[in-house]
């Protein structure tokens, strides 16, 4: 999978994309992430990428031309399955959508900054608008990093079988069961006996039950979705 990220503040993306599972995915050539500095496509000698709002109002708006030039250049090189704009007024990201997007070949993720982007960019280019939640961040870079992280771990071959993303919370609309590691007894706080029983089937049943109970207690709305 190839993901092109368009950003006015590309440095914000470097660290989140360079460690752990995303690093491994890129090393294995299962994922290629290319971060584009929008400023390189800015207008005039100041490489302008934002301007005042028509009609007045505070905050600068990202201009259409630099973004259009870059997107058209990328589209000239390959077909993109989706051009995604990270924005708090998009629809909220879900595991189901991540699963769907992880099967795509080429994606563009556009990060807004300042007040946002000229509406015409959304009209002309954007095919999907995604929010990571009902709160406002300073820009789309951290949301884009979150999206890339969720997609990276879903690409076949990135995780080994044992830590497969299929066992993540939300994959069955269920939260994960509690997990424990050594010591089995920490100052009297013991792990559930069943986990020491060595009985695979019983442990699996216990985990299923715990996942269900935890979901019922904390996120009953997920169970409602299943009906």
Q: Give the residues lining the site for ligand ADE (CB under 6 A).
A: 86-88, 112, 131-133, 135-137, 140, 143
| In the complex, minimum distance from the CB of residue 185 to ligand ADE, in angstroms, rounded to a whole number | 42
| In the complex, minimum distance from the CB of residue 133 to ligand ADE, in angstroms, rounded to a whole number | 5
Residue (7 or 87) nearer to ligand ADE, CB: 87
Residue (116 or 152) nearer to ligand ADE, CB: 116
**Which residue in this structure is represented by tokens 């884009």?**
144
Helix (H) or strand (E) holding 213: helix 200-218
Is residue 137 within 8 Å of residue 167, measured between CB atoms?
A: no
| In the complex, minimum distance from the CB of residue 152 to ligand ADE, in angstroms, rounded to a whole number | 18
Residue (70 or 86) nearer to ligand ADE, CB: 86
| In the complex, minimum distance from the CB of residue 161 to ligand ADE, in angstroms, rounded to a whole number | 32
Residue (24 or 128) nearer to ligand ADE, CB: 128
Task: Please report the DSSP string for 67-91 in residue order.
Answer: HHHHHHHHHHHS--SEEEEEEEEEE
| In the complex, minimum distance from the CB of residue 33 to ligand ADE, in angstroms, rounded to a whole number | 18
Cβ density class 153-173: b for 16+ within 10 Å, e for less = bbbeebbeeeeebeebbbbbb
Residue (66 or 140) nearer to ligand ADE, CB: 140
- Alpha carbon distance 35, 173 (integer Å): 32
- Give the strand pairing for 185-186 and 189-190: antiparallel
């Amino acid at each position: 999978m190839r993901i092109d990220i368009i950003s006015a503040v590309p440095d914000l993306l470097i660290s989140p994309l360079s460690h752990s599972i995303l690093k491994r995915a890129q090393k294995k050539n299962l994922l290629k992430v290319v971060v584009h500095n929008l400023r390189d496509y800015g207008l005039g000698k100041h490489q302008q990428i934002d301007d005042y709002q028509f009609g007045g109002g505070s905050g600068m708006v990202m201009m259409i031309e630099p973004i259009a030039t870059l997107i058209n250049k990328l589209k000239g090189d390959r077909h993109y399955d989706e051009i995604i704009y990270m924005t708090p007024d998009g629809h909220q990201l879900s595991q189901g959508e991540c699963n769907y997007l992880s099967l795509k070949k080429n994606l563009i993720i556009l990060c807004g900054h300042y007040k946002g982007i000229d509406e015409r960019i959304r009209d002309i280019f954007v095919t999907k608008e995604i929010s990571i939640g009902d709160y406002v961040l300073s820009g789309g870079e951290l949301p884009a990093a979150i999206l890339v992280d969720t997609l990276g771990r879903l690409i076949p071959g990135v995780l080994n079988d044992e830590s497969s993303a299929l066992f993540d919370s939300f994959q069955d609309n269920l939260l994960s069961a509690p997990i424990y590691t050594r010591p089995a007894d920490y100052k009297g706080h013991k792990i559930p006996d069943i986990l020491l029983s060595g009985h695979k089937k019983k442990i699996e049943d216990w985990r299923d039950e715990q996942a269900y109970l935890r979901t019922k207690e904390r996120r009953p709305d997920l169970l409602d979705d299943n009906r």
